[in-house]
Amino acid sequence: MKMGELGRTVNLGVIGVGGRGWGQVEVLAQMKDVCIKVICDKHQDRVDNLIEYLHKENLVDYPIDGTLVDEEVLCRDDIEAVVIMSDWETHIDLAIRAMRHGKYVAMEVGGAASVNECWEMVRTAQQTGLDVMLLENCCYNNEEMALLNMVRAGVFGEIVHCKGGYQHDLRDEIGWGDENRHYRLHNFLNRNGELYPTHEMGPIAKYLDLNYGNRMVSLVSMASKAVGMNDYLRRERPDCAHANATFREGDIVTTMIKCANGETIVLTHDCTLPRPYSRGGHIQGTRGLWQEDNRRIYIEGEASEVIDGWLHVGVDDKEWMDKYKSDLWKEYEEFGLRGGHGGMDYLVFRGFIEALQQKTHFPIDVYDTAAWMAITALSEDSIANGSMPVAFPDFTDGKWMLRKDEAVGPYKLGK
């Protein structure tokens, strides 16, 4: 389907319209083959204000219902899918209930609270014949897609090691917490693990063909002490309720993952110390290396400079990113970028909508969703047991070995 071409109308219900959900509804509203039938949130003002805004700004020309009761969304007959953008810990339960009501699911990112809820989601998808797509926008980012092209073209040789992180100074947002009605605060106060793995893990999973000929087999995590939030709040908001609270979430949580094909992955969760934003991308193989933090690529015999006769360094990655730009992004740039986060929010939604229209399974499917989200629960288990390794569940029940040709959309293998 050409970009901008309209398919049949997809009727949706939306649950959760806080900061993220609000912005995402604006992205959906501009799609002329999408109809948002109902918007749900636990706060009445959010529902009312968003519906009023959509009409006032002429972003939609159809009526939208509002409700405080998620079950009223899930049981509607006039929608085929639900978009879940509520608190992290409600995602999987809502996804399961939506499928039981016969609805497909798109779900904003976050981590799982237990491995069991991931299994339950997978089993429900299998039993209902439905599917869940994690809206991992970073899988659709220009650079990550160019890197996937490079990986598949063999630029880095055989891939051996990948790194990534969610390295985002969120002290202010976490600190506002309940006053801001944001779910991060209670997670950082109560949990200790890799709370938000998917922005880096999603693209890495695609580089390594996880669930499509490869899988994660074990995981181990370690957490540093937690001193960043208190240091910040005592200075910036000394009178707030949790300035001296005990935060359980270590400031830096590092997670190592081993894959069936022998690759290792290192993830870093880093949200409560001052730092520039970075997803800390790193792809390394037998022929070369790419690193996000210095925006350099180093390819044996190709992208390499020698300084002072001995110091081998890489080159700026820009030319390589352009050379390996994905077909999707070439088309997208011609079409015109839209939506949040540099355009990737729009693309990930189009991946979801077009899979529904074309009746393919999702480019990020329930097995991917379960595996990526399970990292959070597994990392909590590992840390709780003093950095014991934990076995990684195979949510495909062995089918990962035979699914090589099942990847769809931009992730189709051999493309």
Footprint of its own copies on this chain (CB under 8 A)? 157-158, 160-161, 169, 218, 220, 222-225, 227-228, 231-232, 250-252, 254, 256, 258, 261-264, 266, 270, 273-277, 284-289, 291, 293-294, 298-300, 311-314, 386-389
Contact 289, 158 (CB under 8 A): no
Tell me how far, at minimum, the Cβ of 315 lies from its own copies, in Å: 10
Tokens for 27, please give them: 């992205």
Angle between helical axes of 198-207 and 142-152 (0-180°, round to 10) = 30
Tell me how far, at minimum, the Cβ of 217 lies from its own copies, in Å: 10
Nearer to its own copies, 34 or 229 (CB): 229
Tell me how far, at minimum, the Cβ of 291 lies from its own copies, in Å: 6
Nearer to its own copies, 129 or 306 (CB): 306
Nearer to its own copies, 102 or 157 (CB): 157
Q: What is the DSSP string of 96-142?
A: HHHHHTT-EEEE-----S-HHHHHHHHHHHHHHT--EEE--GGGGSH
Nearer to its own copies, 116 or 264 (CB): 264
Residue 252's Cβ-side half-sphere holds a number of Cα atoms within 13 Å equal to 9
Tell me how far, at minimum, the Cβ of 138 lies from its own copies, in Å: 17
The alpha carbon dihedral of 59, 351, 394, 101 has a sign of: positive
CA distance 395 to 374: 10
Contact 114, 379 (CB under 8 A): no
CA distance 36 to 10: 8
CA distance 144 to 16: 28
Please state the separation of Cα 94 from the chain's center in Å: 17
The one-letter amino acid code at 140 reads: Y
Tell me how far, at minimum, the Cβ of 216 lies from its own copies, in Å: 12
Nearer to its own copies, 131 or 345 (CB): 345
Nearer to its own copies, 127 or 385 (CB): 385
Tell me how far, at minimum, the Cβ of 182 lies from its own copies, in Å: 19
Q: What is the DSSP string of 66-106?
A: EES-HHHHHT-SS-SEEEE-S-GGGHHHHHHHHHHTT-EEE
Nearer to its own copies, 9 or 218 (CB): 218
Tell me how far, at minimum, the Cβ of 88 lies from its own copies, in Å: 24
Tell me how far, at minimum, the Cβ of 144 lies from its own copies, in Å: 18
Contact 269, 375 (CB under 8 A): no
Residue pointed to by tokens 């050379």: 323
Nearer to its own copies, 58 or 307 (CB): 307
Contacts of 17 (CB under 8 A, 6+ apart): 25, 39, 40, 41, 46, 47, 50, 85
